[in-house]
Amino acid sequence: MSALYRRPSARFALVVLAGVGFLAAFGPLIAPQDPLAQHMGELLRGPSPRHWLGTDQLGRDVFSRLVAGSTISVLAALQSVLIGLTLGVLPGLLSVFLGRAFEWLSLRLIDALITLPFLVFAIAMTALLGNGLVQAMFAVGLLITPAFYRVSRAAALSVANAPYVEAARLMGATSFAVIAWHAWRKVLPALAVTTAAMTGACLAIVASLTFLGIGVVPPAPTWGGELASELKTLYDRPFGPVAPAFLIIATVWALNALADAMRDPPGVKP
């Protein structure tokens, strides 16, 4: 992990993520105004001392909305990743040890999930099951399960065939305990990479869904939803879309850069 600090892009990414994490965790507390409060006398204003990023179509403070939206958007992405982790890691590990039938069935199920068109299925699932953020998160989480399955399966495969495992078995250690310990040590770093990358992917997908108005429960702000509404008022607020777009892009990039840094050994040129 210390290798991370040596790469400049990784350091920068960590700073960005720390910032976003801070916003997400303490957002509702530090937001200067109530993100839902409408000031009808100040519609579509530009930045001012009172409203750092101006106001939107309903007179609401944009900065406060983005900060509050951070919590919602980040939490949503984390929830999907958690679901993917839960559904994918254990079956991936077990697929190596539970026999041919389970392996075959789980592999085909995972193939089936990959075959589904991601965004279309996510929208369909969200919309048909009630069109809330919860449904959206579950849909996205389900669809990223293959990534986690694959990673843990690959790690387990490499462990199951390793000579030191056979040696340990010969020495009498119970198969499961040995494999579990070694597999876990192998899986963890790979999982970390995948988790970081998938969080980035989920954030981008959440942004796309809320941009399209799927899973959005007004008046709650989300990064994607804010971007969509800024685009509607582009003429009166030409720089409006910059802030939400920047938040989305920076966070996704930071997560990807972090995953890159964790994956490549130190000294490897990017």
Using the rule CB under 8 A, which residue among 52, 97, 102, 118 binds another protein?
Answer: 118
Of residues 26-85, which lie at the interface with another protein (CB under 8 A)? 36-38, 40, 43-44, 57-58
Cα pseudo-dihedral 53, 45, 69, 122, rounded to 10: -120
Q: Residue 71 or residue 195: which is nearer to another protein going by CB?
A: 195
Give me the sign of the Cα torsion angle 112, 115, 119, 121: negative
Tell me: does residue 194 bind another protein (CB under 8 A): yes
Q: Residue 26 or residue 213: which is nearer to another protein going by CB?
A: 213
Of residues 82-111, which lie at the interface with another protein (CB under 8 A)? 107-111
- The helix/strand/coil state of 55 is strand
Q: How far is the CB of 38 from another protein (least distance, A)?
A: 5
Does 219 sit behind a cis peptide bond, omega within 30 degrees of 0 on the bond before it? Answer: yes
d(CA 45, CA 27): 22
Using the rule CB under 8 A, which residue among 82, 157, 180, 193 binds another protein?
Answer: 193
Q: Which CA distances in Å does 214 have to 91, 117, 130, 221, 253? A: 30, 17, 10, 13, 23
Of residues 143-182, which lie at the interface with another protein (CB under 8 A)? 144, 146-147, 149-151, 154
Q: State the DSSP code for 37.
A: -
Residue with tokens 């462990």: 159
With CB under 8 A as the contact rule, which of the stretches 19-27, 126-134, 160-168, 175-183 interacts with another protein? 126-134
DSSP per residue, 189-207: HHHHHHHHHHHHHHHHHHH
Tell me: does residue 4 bind another protein (CB under 8 A): no
Of residues 241-260, which lie at the interface with another protein (CB under 8 A)? 241, 245, 248-249, 252-253, 256-260
d(CA 79, CA 4): 25
With CB under 8 A as the contact rule, which of the stretches 24-32, 66-74, 95-103, 120-128 interacts with another protein? 120-128
Q: How far is the CB of 231 from another protein (least distance, A)?
A: 4
Tell me: does residue 267 bind another protein (CB under 8 A): no
With CB under 8 A as the contact rule, which of the stretches 16-24, 66-74, 79-87, 229-237 interacts with another protein? 229-237
- Burial bucket for residue 114 (CB in 10 Å: 0-12, 13-18, 19+): middle
Q: How far is the CB of 56 from another protein (least distance, A)?
A: 9
Using the rule CB under 8 A, which residue among 16, 20, 179, 207 binds another protein?
Answer: 207
